[in-house]
């Protein structure tokens, strides 16, 4: 092997990343869009210098390390996992700030490459600034905390280790089943050490993203179960979106008449007005979807992990004869609930199944039930959009206004609080990429950073970030990154003076919303007047155009005007935290104290024990 290219480990890393490409369905594209980062003593002279001499590998300065990973996650998710960012930080707190972002990526199975700085390998200067010392071993740093939240983790202790570590990182990130956060810890001295690397290491490499075909026997068995079903329900998860299977799913649903419910990650798999679309599934689902699930004799799960929100904590499927067919690229998920595992790409599976079940169609009474559920739900959405609640307005009315202003290819972005549940039920998706919710980890603070990533991936689309005041206060500083980069977002802040979602949950558990409102302390308790925040002044200080509105008409006017702006705008509106969208035919397992002096808690415990009895196991 000829060694012809002398480079530092950091320079070699960037040079390698620049030449990695992915291909799916004959379309080839560069895998990396650049690097997000914040420099410190652990990476400025290594990765920082390497980025400086590679202007064709863009570097984006962010404001918070966790936020930059959220931006990278959103970018990759919007790109159907076919493009990614690298993220670099210094050692110590810069690195550990990224851990929450790493967990968000891995839980959602979104590829991102993390390059945190690490302590000196040669050790003689230890303890360096921000180093965690251990009396039991010298071979540990805070970067070991990334191990449980990374799909692949390595520490580069010698420059030549990149020759094996970087290809492994690419293998994991381009795997439809095993992807997630990849962490390569980069000790600050090793980053700057040089080696003669083989020139072949830096040649263009194309990684093919496969469309796995289901085992023929499993496909035939799945088809037999579908043909025998009288009350089937298909649950579309994020895998349908990532595999770009919406067209194939629509054809399958049309030919079979099977209703399609959607998870948070799968919302948009069908447009809301498709005849077989029954809307959101589970705890945050529509009544039609949950009633069909309750009676279903067959559940076809496509690209879903069957989280507790999807299964209503294992209470959603009450038919004692129910069976499962699970289509998933991940064998782990395909085998859940004793189902027939079809380990396959969703688009490929639907294209084959529509042929295997040719001639099958759900009964007429089933179709009539689906039609009635759809009609009733559209009326309920219209009611919630036009409550005429008065001031402060309701959250559902705000969603209705944003929906009325948005256009078909616009994107709604959200992540945590009560908004995801309401959006899951109410938002009328018209495009497979029009609904962007991070709900696998439900990470507060994702919204604005995530909106930035979505806009970077799809600059031609208008992006609406809907965020509660609680999430905004956790991580709003990426507004300034958007201003610096000339990236325009439409941000709507719903001010309910605290944590409305958890307040409602606390009430349901008998605790009355304890500790969930922004109130001054009075007589030793948080029961004083509301501690208000000037969100307009805050957003303006970060460079955004901002205004507070009170009425729905004012909100509509502000959002219409925002569409013509070229700079990020923030519109703040107060909402009534007690005006909530109902739960429909669903239940969520949140354990309530078994004993308490509070009557409200004892009453909630009684209701909880009744709910738990409906939970089921499937084998």
Q: Tell me: the pLDDT tens digits for 289-328? A: 999 999 999 999 999 999 999 999 999 999 999 999 999 9
According to CATH, what is the number of the domain 386-497+532-574?
3.40.50.970
Residues 6+ apart with CB under 8 A from 465: 413, 414, 447, 448, 450, 451, 489, 490, 491, 492
Question: For position 3, what pLDDT does the model report?
Answer: 66
Rounded Cα distance between 301 and 333, Å, is 10
Burial class for 121, CB neighbours closer than 10 Å (0-12, 13-18, 19+): middle
Q: Which of 379, 357, 381, 337 is CA-nearest to residue 258?
A: 357
Longest CA pairwise span in the chain (Å): 78
What length is written for the chain? 619
Which residues in the chain show pLDDT less than 70? Answer: 1-3
Rounded Cα distance between 93 and 145, Å, is 12
Q: What are the phi and psi torsion angles at 68 (to 5°)?
A: -65, -30
132 DSSP 8-state letter: P
- Within 201-266, residue ranges assigned H as helices are 216-228, 238-242, 246-256
Burial class for 21, CB neighbours closer than 10 Å (0-12, 13-18, 19+): middle
Distances in Å between the alpha carbon of 231 and those of 76, 419, 423, 551, 617?
Answer: 36, 31, 27, 45, 20
Rounded Cα distance between 237 and 578, Å, is 31
- In the chain, which residues fall in CATH 3.40.50.970? 3-208, 386-497+532-574
Q: Which of 24, 38, 25, 37 is CA-nearest to residue 83?
A: 24
Burial class for 325, CB neighbours closer than 10 Å (0-12, 13-18, 19+): buried
216-376, CATH topology level: Rossmann fold (3.40.50)
**Cα 293 off chain centre by:** 24
Q: Which residues of 413-427 are buried (b: 16+ CB within 10 A; e: fewer)?
A: bbbbbbbbbbbbbbb
Question: For position 360, what pLDDT does the model report?
Answer: 97
Q: Which of 234, 258, 250 is CA-nearest to residue 325?
A: 234
Q: Which of 212, 236, 299, 254 is CA-nearest to residue 432?
A: 236
Q: Is 232 helix (H, G, I), strand (E, B) or coil?
A: strand
Rounded to two decimals, what is the model's pTM?
Answer: 0.97
Question: For position 503, what pLDDT does the model report?
Answer: 93
**Contact status, residue 304 vs residue 237, Cβ threshold 8 Å:** yes
Question: For position 4, what pLDDT does the model report?
Answer: 77
Rounded Cα distance between 138 and 127, Å, is 10
For residue 605, count other CB atoms closer than 10 A to its CB.
Answer: 18
In CATH, which of 3.40.50.970, 1.10.645.10, 3.40.50.300, 3.30.70.980 is domain 3-208? 3.40.50.970
- In the chain, which residues fall in CATH 3.40.50.1220? 216-376
199 DSSP 8-state letter: G
Rounded Cα distance between 56 and 17, Å, is 11
């Amino acid at each position: 092997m000829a060694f012809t290219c002398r480079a530092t480990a950091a320079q070699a890393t960037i040079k390698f990343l620049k030449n990695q490409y992915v291909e799916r369905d004959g379309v080839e594209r560069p895998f990396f869009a650049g690097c997000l980062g914040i420099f410190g003593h652990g990476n400025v002279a290594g990765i920082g210098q390497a980025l400086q001499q590679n202007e064709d590998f863009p570097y984006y300065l962010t404001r918070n390390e966790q936020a930059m990973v959220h931006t990278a996650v959103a970018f990759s998710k919007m790109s159907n996992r076919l493009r990614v960012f690298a993220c670099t930080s210094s050692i110590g707190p810069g690195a550990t700030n990224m851990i929450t972002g790493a967990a968000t990526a891995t839980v959602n199975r979104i590829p991102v490459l993390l390059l945190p700085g690490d302590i000196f390998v040669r050790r003689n200067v230890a303890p360096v600034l921000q180093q965690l010392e251990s009396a039991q071993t010298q071979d540990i740093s805070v970067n070991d905390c990334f191990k449980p939240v990374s799909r692949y983790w390595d520490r580069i202790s010698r420059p030549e280790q990149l020759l094996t570590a970087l290809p492994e990182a690419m293998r994991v990130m381009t795997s439809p089943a095993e992807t997630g956060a990849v962490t390569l810890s980069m000790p600050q001295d090793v980053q700057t050490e040089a080696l003669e690397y083989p020139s072949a290491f830096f040649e263009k490499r194309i990684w093919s993203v496969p469309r796995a075909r289901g085992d023929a026997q499993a496909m035939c068995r799945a088809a037999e179960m579908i043909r025998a079903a009288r009350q089937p329900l298909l649950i579309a998860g994020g895998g349908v979106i990532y595999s770009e299977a919406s067209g194939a799913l629509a054809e399958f649903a049309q030919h079979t008449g099977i209703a399609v419910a959607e998870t948070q990650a799968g919302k948009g798999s069908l447009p809301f007005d498709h005849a077989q679309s029954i809307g959101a599934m589970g705890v945050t689902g529509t009544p039609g979807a949950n009633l069909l699930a309750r009676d279903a004799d067959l559940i076809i799960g496509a690209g879903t992990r069957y989280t507790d929100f999807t299964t209503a904590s294992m209470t959603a499927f009450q038919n004692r004869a129910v069976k499962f067919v699970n289509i998933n690229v991940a064998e782990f998920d395909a085998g859940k609930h004793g189902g027939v595992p079809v380990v396959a790409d969703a688009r490929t599976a639907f294209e084959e199944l529509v042929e295997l079940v040719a001639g099958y169609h759900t009964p007429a009474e089933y179709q009539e039930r689906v039609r009635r559920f759809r009609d009733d739900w559209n009326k309920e959405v219209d009611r919630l959009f036009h409550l005429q609640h008065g001031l402060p307005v309701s959250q559902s009315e705000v969603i209705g206004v944003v929906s009325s202003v948005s256009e078909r290819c616009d994107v709604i972005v959200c992540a945590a609080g009560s908004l995801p549940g309401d959006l899951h039920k109410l938002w009328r998706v018209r495009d497979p990429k029009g609904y962007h919710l991070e709900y696998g980890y439900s990470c507060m603070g994702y919204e604005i950073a995530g909106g930035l990533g979505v806009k970077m991936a799809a600059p031609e689309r208008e992006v609406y970030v809907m965020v509660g005041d609680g999430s905004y206060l956790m991580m709003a500083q990426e507004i300034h990154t958007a201003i610096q980069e000339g990236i325009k977002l439409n941000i709507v802040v719903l001010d309910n003076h605290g944590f409305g979602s958890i307040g409602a949950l606390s009430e349901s558990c008998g605790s009355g919303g304890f500790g969930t409102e922004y109130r001054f302390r009075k007589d030793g308790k948080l029961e004083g007047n509301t501690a208000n925040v000037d969100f307009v002044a805050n957003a303006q200080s970060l460079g955004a155009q901002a205004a507070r509105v009170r009425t729905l008409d004012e909100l509509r006017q502000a959002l219409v005007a925002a569409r013509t702006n070229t700079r990020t705008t923030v519109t703040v509106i107060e909402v009534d935290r007690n005006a909530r969208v109902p739960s429909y035919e669903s239940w969520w397992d949140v354990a309530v104290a078994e004993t308490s002096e509070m009557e409200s808690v004892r009453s909630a415990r009684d209701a909880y024990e009744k709910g738990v009895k409906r939970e089921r196991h499937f084998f």
